[in-house]
Amino acid sequence: MRGKLYGIGVGPGDPELLTIKAIKTIKDCHVIAVPSAQNNDRAAFYVVEEYLENKPLISCLFSMEKDEEKRKELRIKVADDICSLLEEGKSVGFITLGDPSIYSTYMYVHKIALKRGFETEIIPGITSFTAVAALLNDSLCEGDEILHIIPASHHEDIEELLELQGNKIIMKSGKSLNKVLEILDKKGLSHKTKIVERCGMEGQRVFNNIEEFEKAEGVGYFTIAIVKE
Amino acid sequence: MRGKLYGIGVGPGDPELLTIKAIKTIKDCHVIAVPSAQNNDRAAFYVVEEYLENKPLISCLFSMEKDEEKRKELRIKVADDICSLLEEGKSVGFITLGDPSIYSTYMYVHKIALKRGFETEIIPGITSFTAVAALLNDSLCEGDEILHIIPASHHEDIEELLELQGNKIIMKSGKSLNKVLEILDKKGLSHKTKIVERCGMEGQRVFNNIEEFEKAEGVGYFTIAIVKE
């Protein structure tokens, strides 16, 4: 019998934000697939480390390069490795930060495995943005408010997007975030913008407006901005 | 010493989707506040039932009536009851379906308690929409895709909102959903729309397009529609 692939959301970084179902699934899988990338510190691994019990791991290297071909190549390599294990009858749990349905690299592997006829299941996780809201002790949307989740990398029409009625979450920030913050600042929204780096992880930082953020140094990949009307 | 108020997200309905932190917080609180409403079956209560261990409960009745004054009155009554307990030095865990930061009634109580100078903390939960994505075995957003979360009750400009570029989640559905689905159907989006009722709860139903949904009967409050481009 062929094995099944599980995409397991492990939440934003705090091991206490793992669900019972994620822990059970990790314990039940034969092999755990751990994503890593050139600029990434295997954050998902540290979240689940205490539940791994010497289980076999497979390291999944993804590329952060701009070259789409190179990125695709590595994704197929990862999917091939995982599908070989599934073919051998092993169940594979692919751990991913946050929730697998929200901007996760896991979905590339999921879709390839589905296409090849393997069974797959998604285990939801706490998304980074609700963890950020919890940290800020505030809501994201109430009553009739609309909430827009916008990748900072969405360049072409970012100005238009930032003008939409409703609250906004700027995701997957990295370098593109600076451009978004510049626009928000020009619009006079500095004090309606809060920025959180590495929420729930070591080195967590909160910036209560754009000025505070600009004074800080070395802001990295796991950064989210929330703009409330 | 005054007690602390915790807003605890208990996820969409499946007890296995509780986080370790939610369970710990429930166990540590002196009193658990359980929301209920006229049309509501205390869904949050059933999710955490096995962890309550004869802990004192306080029932929080919210109104679903259209009259804003009556709704406000009941919210203040709930906040008064909870603040009395906090004043006595008791810690109160207010359980809420999904995540407290996403359209939860809890936030009314949270804000009143904050205003009165009490300490509050939010424990994030699995949001209903990522649980729906997991059930549908699909992502909500990938790469540069935008995701809009829109309350079905957002009447005035709903046509415009449904035309935004990006994927859409229609939340808090109930009766207003029918109008939204009518518009989506007219736009030829029936087969890009999936609808899930009572995700992870008893009586869960999945509709793979708008026609399927229209043939069904007695669709209730916990219904979410996802429209993918």
pLDDT at B66 over 60: yes
Residue B192 and residue B205: Cα distance in Å, rounded?
A: 17
Alpha helices in A118-209 (DSSP H): 128-136, 158-162, 176-186
- Among candidates A102, A120, A153 on the partner chain, residue whose Cβ is nearest the Cβ of B137: A120
Its ipTM equals 0.95
Q: What SS3 state is found at B195?
A: strand
- Phi, psi for residue A223 in degrees, rounded to 5: -125, 135
Cα Rg for chain A, rounded, in angstroms? 19
pLDDT digits (tens, 9 = 90+) for B122-139: 999 999 999 999 999 999
Q: How far is the CA of A124 from the CAs of A145, A165, B17, B73, in angstroms?
A: 24, 29, 8, 36
- Band (pLDDT 50/70/90 cuts) for residue B222 is confident
Of A37 and B163, the one with more pLDDT: B163
- Among candidates B14, B21, B146 on the partner chain, residue whose Cβ is nearest the Cβ of A161: B146
- Band (pLDDT 50/70/90 cuts) for residue B173 is low
Nearest CA in chain A to B132: A124
pLDDT at A39 over 70: no
Residue A79 and residue A82: Cα distance in Å, rounded?
A: 5
Probe site for chain A from B105, B126, B150, B226 (most A CB atoms < 10 A): B126
Percent of chain B residues topping a pLDDT of 90 = 74
Residue A36 and residue B86: Cα distance in Å, rounded?
A: 45
- Other Cβ atoms less than 10 A from the Cβ of B90: the count is 18
Q: Which residues of B touch A96 (CB under 8 A)?
A: none
Assign residue B83 a region (left: φ > 0; alpha: ψ between -120 and 50; beta: otherwise): alpha
Nearest CA in chain B to A25: B16
Q: How far is A101 from chain B (nearest CA, A)?
A: 4
A126/B131 touch (CB, cutoff 8 Å), yes or no: no
- Among candidates B16, B122, B150 on the partner chain, residue whose Cβ is nearest the Cβ of A20: B16
- Band (pLDDT 50/70/90 cuts) for residue A219 is confident
Whole-number pLDDT of residue A20? 98
Residue range A174-186: mean pLDDT, rounded: 86
Q: Which residues of B touch A120 (CB under 8 A)?
A: 137
Residue A86 and residue A6: Cα distance in Å, rounded?
A: 11
Q: Which residues of B touch A157 (CB under 8 A)?
A: 165
A130/B124 touch (CB, cutoff 8 Å), yes or no: yes
Residue range A125-129: mean pLDDT, rounded: 97
Residue A168 and residue A158: Cα distance in Å, rounded?
A: 12
Residue A166 and residue A189: Cα distance in Å, rounded?
A: 13
Whole-number pLDDT of residue B25? 98
Nearest CA in chain A to B12: A124
> Which one-letter amino acid corresponds to residue A174?
G
Q: What SS3 state is found at A56?
A: coil
> Which one-letter amino acid corresponds to residue B160?
E
Q: Please tell me what DSSP assigns to residue A49.
A: G
Nearest CA in chain A to B120: A137
pLDDT at A175 over 80: no
Q: Indicate the range of A123-137, B96-110, B163-177, B187-201 predicted with least confidence.
A: B163-177
Q: How far is the CA of B125 from the CAs of A64, A69, A198, B84, B104, in angstroms?
A: 30, 37, 18, 26, 11
Nearest CA in chain A to B21: A16
Q: How far is A154 from chain B (nearest CA, A)?
A: 6
pLDDT at B39 over 60: no
Q: Which residues of B touch A115 (CB under 8 A)?
A: none
Residue B70 and residue B63: Cα distance in Å, rounded?
A: 7
Burial classification of residue B1, based on how many CB atoms lie within 10 Å of its CB (0-12 exposed, 13-18 middle, 19 or more buried): exposed
Six token digits for residue A87 = 């073919």
Q: Are B93 and B26 in contact (CB under 8 A)?
A: yes
Q: Are A95 and A32 in contact (CB under 8 A)?
A: yes
Q: Which residues of B touch A99 (CB under 8 A)?
A: 126, 130, 133
Highest mean pLDDT: which of A67-76, A212-221, B7-16? B7-16
A165: closest CA among B59, B194, B156? B156
pLDDT at A16 over 90: yes
Probe site for chain A from B139, B224, B226 (most A CB atoms < 10 A): B139
pLDDT at A201 over 90: no
Residue A24 and residue B196: Cα distance in Å, rounded?
A: 25
- Other Cβ atoms less than 10 A from the Cβ of B114: the count is 14
Q: How far is CA A12 from the centre of its chain?
A: 8
Residue A62: strand pairing partners: A37
- Among candidates B120, B121, B148 on the partner chain, residue whose Cβ is nearest the Cβ of A146: B148
Percent of chain B residues topping a pLDDT of 70 = 96
Q: Which residues of B touch A146 (CB under 8 A)?
A: 148-151, 154, 161
Nearest CA in chain A to B104: A142
Whole-number pLDDT of residue B41? 66
Q: How far is A118 from chain B (nearest CA, A)?
A: 13
Q: Are A211 and A187 in contact (CB under 8 A)?
A: no
- Phi, psi for residue B214 in degrees, rounded to 5: -65, -30
pLDDT at A179 over 80: yes
- Band (pLDDT 50/70/90 cuts) for residue B65 is confident
Whole-number pLDDT of residue A67? 86
Scan for tokens 């019972």, then name that residue: A20
Six token digits for residue A176 = 């593109």
pLDDT at B23 over 80: yes
